[in-house]
């Protein structure tokens, strides 16, 4: 479990994190990014790629971020993990 809730992480930070998590074999099951208003729809594609590259990830918490309803729907449709 990696908890980065309410840390001020931005879309750029999500991109760096996703690249790191996708480039190594890891056993991460939950990524908590809640309450980071600077995470927007810009991060949706990066998050989807991260999930594709991480077989063990089963949850990514994004409550109270600035992802639009359309972006959230895209996440829900693309993968069967808990968003």
Q: Write out the chain in H/E/C secondary structure.
A: CEECCCCCCCHHHHHHHHHHHHHCCCCCCEEECCCCCCCEHHHHHHHHHHHHHCCCCCEEECCCCECCHHHHHHHHHHCCCEC
| pTM, entire model | 0.89
Q: List pLDDT tens digits, range 8-56.
A: 999 999 999 988 887 667 788 899 999 999 999 999 999 998 888 887 8
Mean predicted confidence (pLDDT) in 55-78:
92
Mean predicted confidence (pLDDT) in 59-81:
91
């Amino acid at each position: 479990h990696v908890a980065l809730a309410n840390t001020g992480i931005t879309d750029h930070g999500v991109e760096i994190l996703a690249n790191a998590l996708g480039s190594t074999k890891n056993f991460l099951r939950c990524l908590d990014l809640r309450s980071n208003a600077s995470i927007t729809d810009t991060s949706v594609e990066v998050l989807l790629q991260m999930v594709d590259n991480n077989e063990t990830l089963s949850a990514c918490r994004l409550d109270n971020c600035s992802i639009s309803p359309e972006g959230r729907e895209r996440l829900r449709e693309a993968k069967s993990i808990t968003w």
